[in-house]
């Protein structure tokens, strides 16, 4: 049993304050009865909720895409820095959402925020081979030696990396596709060639691309089609 205001707000359509106003206006019904208090607890699995006479569909899980800006850490809590959850609208936070995977503090781009642990495992598990595409800027010219080395698999201190596709897009820029997620992997791979990564931006996970109209720091829910693309392999 959960509070009616928490259940409705967790669906991401209304904030809890908006739900309270709807209750005051007697616009929310559960199983035909008008709700008179936000404190009323119901069994959401056996409740038909109407808001202004329109049925509310209860979502089992929430999937948000975030265009992560610089300066945020990929964690649910941090004693020093702002976290990516600080960018999530309040109405989703009651669902105990978390970042599926991580980007470094100063790395930007596509992240997934969810409350679905199984889905997060699926997109992060190495055996699933879900690719991630990055735009990379380094401090020295990108070379064919780097591209060929990435293709062959770069030797790091913790073992040889899987083959990675690289497309050279400019004198100092490249696109890199990874199918694994080691700690600071791209930075360490370029470091093997004496290069320092000065900018790193993730543009794609699976077949899901970061929309160009999603501004840095903003989130939105994935559509069913986008969720399917997220879980597609390279």
Distance CA(226)–CA(166), nearest Å, equals: 25
Predicted local distance difference test score (pLDDT) of residue 160: 95
Active-site annotation holds for 52: no
pTM: 0.83
The domain 2-55 is classified under which CATH number: 3.30.420.40, 3.40.50.150, 2.30.30.230, 3.10.290.10? 3.10.290.10
- Strands (DSSP E) found in the chain: 2-3, 28-30, 33-34, 41-42, 49-51, 54-55, 63-68, 72-73, 82-83, 98-99, 108-114, 132-138, 155-156, 159-160, 165-168, 173-178, 197-205, 208-209, 219-221
Domain ranges across the chain:
2-55, 63-126+210-230, 131-205
Predicted local distance difference test score (pLDDT) of residue 96: 86
Predicted local distance difference test score (pLDDT) of residue 234: 53
Q: Which fold has domain 131-205?
A: Alpha-Beta Plaits (3.30.70)
Distance CA(175)–CA(188), nearest Å, equals: 16
Q: What is the CATH number of domain 63-126+210-230?
A: 3.30.70.580
Task: For residue range 172-201, list pLDDT tens digits in order.
Answer: 999 999 988 888 999 999 999 999 999 999
Task: For residue range 1-13, list pLDDT tens digits in order.
Answer: 889 998 898 887 7
Active-site entry in 5, 43, 104, 158: 104
- Strands (DSSP E) found in 14-118: 28-30, 33-34, 41-42, 49-51, 54-55, 63-68, 72-73, 82-83, 98-99, 108-114
| Tokens encoding 77 | 């809590």
Same fold across 63-126+210-230 and 131-205: yes
Task: For residue range 95-128, list pLDDT tens digits in order.
Answer: 889 999 899 999 999 999 999 999 999 888 877 7
């Amino acid at each position: 049993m959960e509070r009616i205001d928490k259940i409705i707000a967790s669906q991401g359509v209304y904030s809890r304050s908006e739900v309270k106003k709807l209750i005051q206006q007697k616009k929310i019904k559960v199983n035909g009865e008008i709700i008179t208090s936000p404190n009323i607890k119901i069994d959401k699995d056996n409740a038909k909720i109407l808001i202004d006479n329109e049925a509310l569909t209860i979502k089992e899980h929430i999937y948000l895409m975030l265009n992560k800006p610089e300066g945020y850490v990929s964690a649910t809590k941090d004693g020093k820095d702002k976290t990516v959850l600080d960018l999530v609208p309040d109405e989703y936070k009651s669902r105990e959402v978390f970042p599926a995977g991580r980007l470094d503090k100063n790395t930007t781009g596509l992240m997934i925020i969810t409350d679905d642990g199984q889905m997060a495992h699926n997109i992060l598990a190495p055996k699933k081979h879900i690719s991630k595409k990055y735009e990379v800027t380094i401090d020295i010219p990108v070379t064919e030696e780097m591209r060929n080395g990435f293709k062959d698999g770069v030797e790091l201190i913790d073992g040889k990396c899987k083959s990675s596709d690289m497309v050279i897009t400019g004198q100092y820029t490249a696109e890199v596709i990874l199918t694994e997620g080691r700690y600071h992997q791209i930075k360490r791979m370029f470091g093997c060639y004496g290069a320092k990564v000065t900018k790193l931006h993730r543009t794609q996970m699976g077949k899901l691309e970061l929309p160009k109209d999603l501004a840095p720091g903003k989130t939105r829910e994935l559509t069913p089609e986008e969720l399917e693309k997220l879980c597609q392999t390279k």
